[in-house]
């Protein structure tokens, strides 16, 4: 795993001096502490930078940026091409010769043989790269299919820049770092900045499964982004029906085969390797298959918390004992966990508000003391219907769609007009008392929320509302445009609610929240994380899997559980889904209250001008008074405020 960056200028107009180019690269040193390299063609105004975390071919023959054997291409590459050995064998038959054993050299030979798009079709991996074509004078950027590895790009003055993280942009002369208010509104709505936006105006994320071509046809840099992959059509028609017993066995064998091959490819490493283990379905499946393939004891890692409802260490310990892993766990005190908070703005580099970023960073720190590469179970929820919110959303939609639309609109208007906020809070508490089962499923309904649900015309609108921690985000950001926070598109015509939700999450929540969280937390300590569930072959197969094999009789991940039970007894993993979080709501009312009060000071909010003080203070008072649990929305605000404070200090403002 590595940090990459580059700059494309206009010939005849020199790029900045060497020291500034080096500063851009060195801002990414945490991603690659083992080596550094640069390649510059000053007359053509091209610069590529690289920081290396050595995982494959630890020799100097793996150094980057690397040139192709024919000298046409130069690449700076972050990630892994897992099937590089089979590609290398195929390329050797075609006459290619290799000096070292790295996947980077195979990447270059594949581009020489098949072109950029032809090579991308053949790659199985997680990656982001910048590739300079010296003959055509064209820069190619590409990102892996699912979005495991990050890549930002944009124009700053006359130059076109790209980098693994935004830190590199801030090292560039004349970079203004203007906050994009539309992106800020999106961030507050979802808790992350969704691609293609970044928090900075004029800087974008390359979307998963996309490539970008930049060239200079008439003395100016032009670039265009386009997709090279999609995860395919959903199950339709007969594909949604239950399978026969023979078909079910075939599906089980196919799933286990795909998982085994995905894990096998991700065990390729020249450095120590382990796995994160929570004791849940996904991570336990990965570890079980690692044990079958590795031929030795697997190293596993877990972080534990003493607070009830947040500790997964006991479950992980039982699974580890059953599978015979070399298990390491670390119990973290609340004070130690909160001690990571000041580092978060620097680690995540733009506002990011999934509070499980804290334990993710801590478990990455723990693992890095022992290994350089870990495997994780991320992606299983999106592929096999594992999130509790999926059941909640379908339940609500079944109820709402039975009511005629005109009646829904009338009731919603009436509620908005006559339902006072105090009564709304009382109604929510009454619902929890009268319908605790619904409350346990995560649906803390309020009458105002019901009014909003009644207005939805499409299921996508309901789900978009359900996953938004702060619905009023647009109103909280002066200057943001309404179109910027419209609901994301859903599935194709005829798609079921589960298909719509999983497709939305595969496009947005997975790459822009889950994978960002893991990448930044792990790379902050130079740890590479690999995710077997996100092998594109498995993704394509799972997307088209009949729903009855994903969720059956109220049980999610039904088919995946059948695979896991071949290795682990059901009673070891059957427990309510806990997630990987911290008691942020309690912390904000207690030990973090003074810190939060400072960042949410009304005079400060007015001076900065990004957030509406009245809106922010309202959710703050609702939370600390106990009237409502607003910790998700507050954490989004606080992470933006902490990030902006870091920005302000860096600029000496």
Q: In this structure, how many other beta carbons lie within 10 angstroms of the beta carbon of residue 569?
A: 12
- What contacts 227, CB < 8 A, 6 or more positions away? 207, 209, 210
Print burial letters for 520-543: b (CB count within 10 Å at least 16), e (below 16): bbbbbbbbbbbbbbbbbebbbbbb
> Closest Cα to residue 15, out of 6, 28, 26?
6
CA distance 439 to 451: 18
Both tokens assigned to 229: 């992959």
CA distance 535 to 126: 9
Tell me the CA distances in angstroms from 152 to 30, 185, 336, 528, one per residue in order. 17, 20, 32, 19
192: DSSP letter: S
Both tokens assigned to 337: 């966990």
Dihedral of the alpha carbons of 208, 211, 216, 221, in degrees to the nearest 10: -10
Beta strands 222-227 and 528-530 are: unpaired
Tell me the CA distances in angstroms from 450 to 123, 421, 445, 453, 476, one per residue in order. 47, 13, 7, 5, 22
Q: Check: CB of residue 280 under 8 Å from CB of residue 377.
A: yes
Query: In 3-state terms, what secondary structure has residue 187?
Result: helix
Which of 2, 7, 75, 211 is labelled catalytic? 2
Both tokens assigned to 308: 């009830």
Q: Identify the bridge partners of residue 47 per DSSP, sorted by sequence position.
A: 7, 40
Query: In 3-state terms, what secondary structure has residue 273?
Result: strand
- What contacts 397, CB < 8 A, 6 or more positions away? 459, 462, 497
CA distance 328 to 365: 12
Q: Check: CB of residue 206 under 8 Å from CB of residue 128.
A: yes
> Closest Cα to residue 529, out of 163, 241, 229, 275?
275
653 burial via Cβ count (<10 Å: 0-12, 13-18, 19+)? exposed
CA distance 595 to 566: 49
Q: Is the N-terminal amide bond of 500 cis, ω within 30° of 0?
A: no
Annotated catalytic residue 2: yes
> Closest Cα to residue 305, out of 283, 332, 336, 278?
332
Rg, Å, the chain Cα set: 25
Q: Check: CB of residue 304 under 8 Å from CB of residue 333.
A: no
CA distance 479 to 179: 11
Query: What kind and span of H or E run contains 285?
Result: helix 281-294
Both tokens assigned to 425: 């809070």
- CA 148 to the chain's CA centroid: 7
Q: Distance between terminal CA atoms of the chain?
A: 34
**Tokens 């059509």 correspond to what residue?**
233
Work out the angle at residue 375's Cα, subtended by the Cα atoms of residues 370 and 377, and round it to the nearest 5 degrees.
135
> Closest Cα to residue 44, out of 118, 134, 108, 122?
134
Active-site residue list: 2
């Amino acid at each position: 795993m590595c940090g990459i960056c580059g700059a494309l200028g206009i010939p005849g107009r020199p790029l900045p001096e060497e020291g500034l180019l080096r500063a851009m690269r060195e801002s990414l040193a945490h991603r690659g502490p083992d080596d550094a390299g640069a390649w510059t063609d000053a007359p053509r105004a091209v610069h590529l930078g690289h920081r290396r975390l050595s995982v494959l071919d630890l020799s100097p023959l793996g150094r980057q940026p690397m040139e192709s054997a024919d000298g046409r291409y130069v690449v700076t590459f972050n990630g892994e091409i897992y099937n590089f050995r089979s590609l290398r064998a195929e390329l050797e038959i075609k006459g290619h010769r290799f000096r070292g054993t790295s996947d980077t050299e195979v990447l270059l030979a594949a581009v020489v043989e098949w072109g950029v798009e032809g090579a991308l079709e053949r790659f199985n991996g997680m990656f982001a790269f910048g590739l300079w074509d010296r003959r055509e004078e064209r820069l190619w950027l590409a990102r892996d299919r699912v979005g495991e590895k990050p890549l930002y790009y944009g124009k700053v003055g006359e130059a076109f820049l790209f980098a693994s993280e935004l830190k590199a942009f801030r090292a560039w002369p004349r970079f203004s770092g203007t906050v994009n208010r539309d992106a800020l509104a999106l961030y507050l709505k979802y808790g992350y900045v969704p691609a293609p936006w970044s928090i900075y105006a004029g800087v974008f994320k390359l979307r998963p499964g996309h490539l970008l071509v930049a060239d200079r046809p008439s003395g100016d840099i032009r670039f265009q982004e386009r997709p090279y992959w999609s995860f395919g059509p959903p199950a339709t028609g007969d594909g949604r029906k239950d399978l026969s017993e023979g078909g079910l066995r075939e599906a089980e064998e196919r799933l286990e085969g795909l998982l085994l091959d995905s894990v096998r490819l991700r065990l390729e490493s020249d450095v120590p390797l382990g796995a994160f283990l929570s004791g849940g379905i996904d991570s336990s499946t990965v570890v079980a298959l690692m044990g079958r393939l590795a031929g030795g004891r697997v190293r596993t890692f877990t972080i534990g918390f003493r607070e009830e409802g947040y500790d997964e260490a006991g479950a992980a310990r039982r699974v580890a004992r059953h599978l015979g892993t070399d298990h390491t766990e670390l119990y973290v005190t609340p004070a130690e966990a909160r001690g990571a908070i000041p580092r978060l703005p620097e680690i995540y580099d733009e506002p990011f508000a999934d509070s499980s970023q804290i334990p993710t960073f801590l478990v990455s720190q723990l693992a890095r003391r022992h290994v350089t590469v870990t495997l994780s179970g991320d992606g299983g929820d999106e592929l096999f219907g594992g999130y509790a919110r999926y059941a909640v959303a379908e339940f609500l939609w079944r109820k709402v769609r039975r009511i005629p639309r005109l009646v829904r609109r009338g009731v919603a208007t009436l509620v908005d007009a006559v339902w006072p906020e105090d009564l709304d809070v009382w109604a929510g508490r009454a619902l929890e008392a009268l319908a605790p089962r619904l409350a346990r499923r995560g649906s803390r309904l309020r009458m105002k929320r019901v009014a909003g649900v009644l207005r939805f015309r499409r299921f996508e609108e309901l789900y978009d509302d359900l996953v938004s921690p702060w619905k009023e985000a647009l109103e909280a950001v002066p200057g943001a445009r309404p179109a910027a926070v419209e609901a994301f598109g859903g599935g194709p015509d005829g798609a079921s609610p589960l298909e719509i939700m999983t497709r939305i999450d595969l496009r947005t929540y997975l790459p822009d929240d889950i994978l960002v969280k893991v990448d930044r937390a792990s790379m902050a300590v130079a740890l590479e994380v690999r995710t077997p569930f996100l092998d594109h072959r498995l993704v394509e197969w799972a997307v088209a899997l009949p729903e009855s094999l994903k969720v059956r009789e109220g049980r999610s991940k039904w088919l995946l559980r059948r695979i896991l039970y071949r290795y682990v007894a059901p009673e070891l993993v059957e427990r309510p889904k806990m997630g990987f979080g911290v008691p942020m709501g309690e912390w904000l009312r207690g030990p973090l209250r003074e810190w939060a009060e400072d960042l949410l000071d009304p005079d400060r909010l007015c001076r900065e001008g990004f957030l509406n003080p009245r809106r922010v203070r309202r959710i703050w008072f609702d939370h600390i008074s106990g009237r409502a649990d607003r910790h998700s929305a507050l954490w989004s605000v606080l992470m933006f405020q902490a990030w902006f404070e870091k920005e302000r200090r860096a600029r000496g403002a």
